[in-house]
Structure 1
Amino acid sequence: MVSKRKEKYSSGEGSQFMTRKAALKKLQLSLNDFRKLCILKGIYPREPRNRKRAQKGKAGIKTLYHVKDIQFLLHEPVIWRLRDYKIFNKKVGRARAVKDFEKLNKYLNNHPTLKLDHIVKERYPTFIDALKDLDDCLTLCFLFSTFPSLAHVPRDQSALCRRLTLEFLHAVIEAKALRKVFISIKGFYFQAEFKGQTITWITPHHFSFTPQSKAEVDFKVMSTFVEFYTVMLGFVNFRLYHSLNLYYPPKFTAIQQSSNEKLLVDEDIFVSERVAALNCTLSKTSHELIEEDLEIDSFNADGSEASEEKLEEIRKESEKIRKLKTLFKGLKIFLNREVPREPLVFVIRCFGGEVSWDKTLFVGSTFSEDDETITHQIVDRPSMEKQFISRYYVQPQWIFDSVNAADLLPVEKYFMGEVLPPHLSPFIDKERDQQYIPPEARALYNENELEEQHKMDATDKQDDDGDEIESDADNDEEISSKEVKTVNTKKLSVSTGEVYKEVPWEKARQERQEFRLREKMVKNKHRKLYKSMMEGRRDRAKEIWLLRKKRRLHDENEKGKKKDANKVQQKDKNKPIVRKSKVKTT
């Protein structure tokens, strides 16, 4: 029998991908509903290896989805709920058109609701999986918590984001899980650690909201993401609160519910109540959690025993984190009205400090400015008329730099009116290749390395002294026993060696030749990947060169300004003083 010939594109990549139009036809959904469903289920377009085969020979660039992903969506119950929404909108529109208000109220009271609990459990089967994917969730929820009521962002969604983000911040405070802080143009970068997972998010700066002139951002798509992320963050907060032995949902006593519509619109009251809630302590359950010192295992994941150096590094890191958790313990810090209160209150409370502000300006104050037990006052102005001798007046950067340094830094550089040192990012890895490190950060790393080297030299010297004492004791015993044996040894001779002069250009030429030979050994299937990697390396090197040039020009400009200022001061000093003589009139 003659076997039937296969049709073209019926196997391989031609059968593995389908266009968005075909997916809409298969699922019988509109484009908006399909986008919403893909966002909720975490399904995105795929890039095929051979686009011509995947598009079945058709020209152009089309949005392609994997066939298995679309088949996975066929059995999703959310599709039926989206169709119920479509039917509901038609019924409401018809009742409104004929002015049948009885049916209209009936439909509005029984509107369909979309539940996403099963999707969260499906996408994140374990709690660790949810923590790994929490970065984008927190960043978007913190962003939406600052929004007013927009066209596609309802007020209920923004209020829910405010409550959930505030609950998460309280969980970080209670667990003392904050590790790094950085201030940038985008906002405040925070990094916390829960169950061995690092979570990094951005809190935007608090500015009054200004509507955009152009519709460049699709708030409808972002609102769909937030709709899923709020459900996910609610699950995470529930687990975190129960692991920390806290009641959930928490009750914030500082927030006073007001029925006045004007207060609900006022943005300053929202922010002040949020900060006041951040400064209050949460109620715990009857059982208290006892922190125990964890023992470090001396075995690796592969079963081999860990080296002493690695164990020592792990012990140092755990000791550093234990010290960091109580960095501000015993300090009472007062905030002036001009400083950003929310990030400062959050950071200070995460490390065991007490914080307050002026009770006449904002709610939630715990102690007044006249309290003599205050150790530090955070000020962001050049001078103050009334000052207390018993406290330090420092600028806000001292808090963030102390956290990143894991130690209380000297306050002399952060006094009022002082030029602040550069605020270095703690997220830069000094061991990573091809990245720009500012001169101040490089100097700081060199100082730390020198301190560690001095410590190691001191320990080695102590060990050598101990060995010398032991050897002297052994020698005394041998001499006292009179069992010394004389050994005839030959005298060692030293001869002059020949000096070998290394030619630097010859060595560089040989290295270049070896590098070209290694490049020729790259396989053909990996050659494109290798070329793209080398292009990326060249781009990064160019970027580092541009940043260094920019820094050099800035330093030269600053030196020129200082020279000009010194010249002006020198001229003023050398200028003769002309005194006017008094003329008596008769």
Structure 2
Amino acid sequence: MGRIKKKGTSGAAKNYITRTRAVKKLQISLPDFRRLCIFKGIYPREPRNKKKVSKGSTAATTFYYTKDIQYLLHEPLLNKFREHKTVAKKIGRALGRGEVGDAARLEKTHIPKIKLDHIIKERYPTFVDALRDLDDALSMVFLFANLPSTQHVPSKTIALCQRLSHEFEHYLIVSHSLRKSFLSIKGIYYQATIQGQDILWLVPYRFVQRTGGDIDFRIMGTFVEFYTTLLGFVNFRLYTSIGLVYPPKFNAKSDELGGELGAFQLEGKGISTNGEPATNSDASTVITSAEAQAEADKVANLVDPEEDKEASTAAALVQVDEEGNTETIDTFEATAQDADILPQPQASSAEIASLFAPFTFYLSRETPRAPLEFILKAFGCKRVGWDGILGDGAFTTNESDPAITHQLVDRPSLPNESLPEVPDAPATIDDGAAVPIAQWPRSTMPGRTYIQPQWVWDCINQGKLLRPDLYAPGAELPPHLSPWVKAKKGEYDPNLPLEQQELEGEAEAFEDEEEDAEFFGEETTTNGKDHVMDALVDREPSVEVGEGMDIAGSEDESDEEDEEEDAAAAAEEWDGIESDGESDVSDDEAARKQHQRELEAEATGTVIEPTAPTTRSKNAAIRKKAEKKRREEEEERERQKMMLSNKKRKLIKRIEHGTKKRDVESETLRKKRRKIEKVKAAADAL
């Protein structure tokens, strides 16, 4: 006879361990256990059968893999946690005895310092692995960089996050790795491509942050401690790959004056390509050593195959004439309304990187300086100025500088009568000629383009310079859409006109609905009281008060209403057959009446003058034709579904349910847009 196996010693019960048992096994406190799991990347697991794991119990319990806990037993940080606990006990005893000096000495000299370098190397064996996991790290670091200093968020942590985020932004500016950005309700999304890896992170707006009491900053602080270490490693590797000294020089005085990006000064190692000492201007072309150059060439060759394919396609589509002038890139347009959307060729990354290189921008006081400065410099702009009140580091603080080509404003142009009076500033003299002074919105500078900030984001997302007149101050801006969401066939697209995306007969149906709404609206407003009074007067005397009215809580009437709704739903299912019959009867009746009128006119000798069809009759004919076509397509689909199995039929039913839901949403959006366009047309006509 075989040995009887004891319950809970093998299988799922052995593969999982509860959190309480794990804490006892590691001999640390629960906060230290959570901190250690965050550092090591170990998370709770959900077993398939909780009864087998917890020996028949169904209580809510947190489980971990037993192998993960065994892995934590050999972690060097466990000794650090125990040493910290021992020193904390000594500090507590010293404070209890009133020995404040001894407590301060113990805290300064005996508190163990925790380093996470070995954990970074364990979790990310290659640099590409670290880049793939950089999304959450950047979002958390940028979040803490914009938080106010509180007792839960120390100022040292905020300063560290600000320094690391600015260093990463400087790398994106030098390497031109930024690709797209989007303004959302949560904040500003950025996407960069580094060594073929797409990195997407979120930066909150610089509003006054009000942190609630339900936020566990201890857990978030643990993540920030790990992410700052990771980002420090990544920044060092990125800087050295392009020949820059890390960390860059930091000007504390400029940072106190609000310099931010301008407080960092980049330096290159070795000599430049022309044989002179490297400077900040040619830091991106520095040659450091043979080993570093080989690493840089290796990084440069790591290009996304899709991006390389798009670049080669775009280069092939650029046509060159006999004189050597290049034309614009070809675009592919659909030949039919229901045709698939063809992928359009895009400009190369080198052209997009120098999108704003020829321009000099000036940021008005009401515009967000930090994101605009970062985006403009990341796409080639070398000269960005702003008002001195926004901080240090501007190319120019003079709004009347003639070198400025574009000025970003976020205020509408108001008449001078509505503006408060200010003393006129004296005009500056340059070589005996008075230089005009521009002060928006009182006056503008000739030859300067005034645009709203959204123009910058839309230009980089589309990879080209858009028309600035569409983004003029006070103008209604085009829709700002996410660059990562592509319009699918059948969905509403704000960039396309309604004629290209609406269904057949939809516009005519909307016109008829508007006419009916206007007609019945006027009738009810003018004769509403008369109809009510007529109904009361014409009521029979035998009818008691309240009779014929809906009574709340009547079960019989509710049952009857439910039956009527079911009958109506069943009738809608058979409307394909009945509607065809009704339409045929109505057509035959109309033809019969027309033939009768012709016979009467022939007998009396009169001539029937042809009447011009009205707009409503035309719309009715178009809608009728479109409905007939849709019914035929629906019948054809039903016939095809009859040949399928029950499983595939249910799958198609679920797909059609989602498609109908999407069509209803798109139709609702098109109706809203049609109403807005109608109101605008009426306003323009006035």
TM-score grouping bracket, smaller chain normalisation: 0.7 to 0.9
What is the aligned counterpart of 1:398 among 446, 452, 455? 455
1:273 and 2:259 aligned: yes
Q: Which residue is equivalent to 2:30?
A: 31
CA drift of 1:545 comes to 5.4
- Give the residue type in structure 2 aligned to 1:220: R
What is the aligned counterpart of 1:336 among 350, 364, 387? 364
Residues 439 and 253 (structure 1), Cα distance of their counterparts in 2 relative to 1, 3 Å cut = same
Partners of 1:137 and 1:175 lie apart in 2 by 20
In structure 2, the residue corresponding to 1:377 is in which secondary structure? Answer: strand
CA drift of 1:331 comes to 0.8
- Give the residue type in structure 1 aligned to 2:85: K
Larger Rg: 2
Q: Which residue is equivalent to 2:405?
A: 375
Q: Which residue is equivalent to 1:172?
A: 172
Q: Which residue is equivalent to 1:548?
A: 666
Partners of 1:26 and 1:332 lie apart in 2 by 64
- Give the residue type in structure 2 aligned to 1:113: K
Q: Which residue is equivalent to 1:50?
A: 49
Residues 361 and 429 (structure 1), Cα distance of their counterparts in 2 relative to 1, 3 Å cut = closer
Residues 293 and 79 (structure 1), Cα distance of their counterparts in 2 relative to 1, 3 Å cut = closer
Partners of 2:401 and 2:181 lie apart in 1 by 29
Q: Which residue is equivalent to 2:249?
A: 251
Q: Does the 8 Å CA contact 1:372/1:390 hold for their aligned counterparts?
A: no
Give aligned-pair identity as a percent: 40
Q: Does the 8 Å CA contact 2:311/2:346 hold for their aligned counterparts?
A: no
CA drift of 1:510 comes to 3.5
Partners of 2:211 and 2:240 lie apart in 1 by 40
Q: Which residue is equivalent to 1:221?
A: 219
What is the aligned counterpart of 2:481 among 424, 427, 436? 424
- For each residue in 1:452-509, what CA deviation from the matched residue of structure 2 results, as whole angstroms up to 9, or x when unmatched? xxxxxxxxxxxxxxxxxxxxxxxxxxxxxxxxxxxxxxxxxxxxxxxxxx96455312
Partners of 1:543 and 1:86 lie apart in 2 by 59
Q: Which residue is equivalent to 1:312?
A: 313
Q: Which residue is equivalent to 2:16?
A: 17
- For each residue in 1:375-413, what CA deviation from the matched residue of structure 2 results, as whole angstroms up to 9, or x when unmatched? 111111112112111210000011000000100111110
Q: Which residue is equivalent to 1:231?
A: 229
Residues 506 and 357 (structure 1), Cα distance of their counterparts in 2 relative to 1, 3 Å cut = closer
- Give the residue type in structure 2 aligned to 1:208: V
In structure 2, the residue corresponding to 1:60 is in which secondary structure? Answer: coil
In structure 1, the residue corresponding to 2:200 is in which secondary structure? Answer: strand
When structure 1 is superposed on structure 2, of 38-47 and 506-515 the one drifting more is 506-515
CA drift of 1:373 comes to 2.1
Q: How does 1:164-563 map to 2 (within 5 A)?
A: 164-212=164-212, 215-253=213-251, 255-256=253-254, 272-277=258-263, 282-288=266-272, 289=285, 312=313, 320-353=348-381, 354-359=383-388, 361-367=390-396, 368-383=398-413, 384-430=441-487, 438-441=492-495, 504-505=633-634, 507-517=636-646, 519=648, 544=662, 547-548=665-666, 551-552=669-670, 554-555=672-673, 558-559=676-677, 561-562=679-680
Q: How does 1:108-127 map to 2 (within 5 A)?
A: 108-110=107-109, 111-127=111-127
- Give the residue type in structure 2 aligned to 1:406: G
In structure 2, the residue corresponding to 1:182 is in which secondary structure? Answer: strand
Q: Which residue is equivalent to 2:597?
A: none
Partners of 2:492 and 2:203 lie apart in 1 by 25
In structure 1, the residue corresponding to 2:348 is in which secondary structure? Answer: helix
CA drift of 1:565 comes to 4.7
Residues 230 and 356 (structure 1), Cα distance of their counterparts in 2 relative to 1, 3 Å cut = same
Partners of 2:471 and 2:249 lie apart in 1 by 37
Q: Does the 8 Å CA contact 2:166/2:261 hold for their aligned counterparts?
A: no
Residues 534 and 282 (structure 1), Cα distance of their counterparts in 2 relative to 1, 3 Å cut = farther
Partners of 1:541 and 1:112 lie apart in 2 by 60
In structure 1, the residue corresponding to 2:180 is in which secondary structure? Answer: strand
- Give the residue type in structure 2 aligned to 1:548: S
TM-score by length of structure 1 reads 0.74
List runs of 5+ in structure 1 lacking aligned partners: 259-268, 302-307, 448-501, 521-529, 570-586
- Give the residue type in structure 1 aligned to 2:364: N
- Give the residue type in structure 2 aligned to 1:183: L
List runs of 5+ in structure 2 lacking aligned partners: 273-284, 287-295, 318-344, 414-440, 502-630
CA drift of 1:154 comes to 1.5
CA drift of 1:74 comes to 0.6
When structure 1 is superposed on structure 2, of 365-374 and 110-119 the one drifting more is 365-374
Partners of 1:294 and 1:98 lie apart in 2 by 60
In structure 2, the residue corresponding to 1:209 is in which secondary structure? Answer: coil
CA drift of 1:181 comes to 0.7
TM-score by length of structure 2 reads 0.63
1:140 and 2:146 aligned: no
Number of equivalences = 475
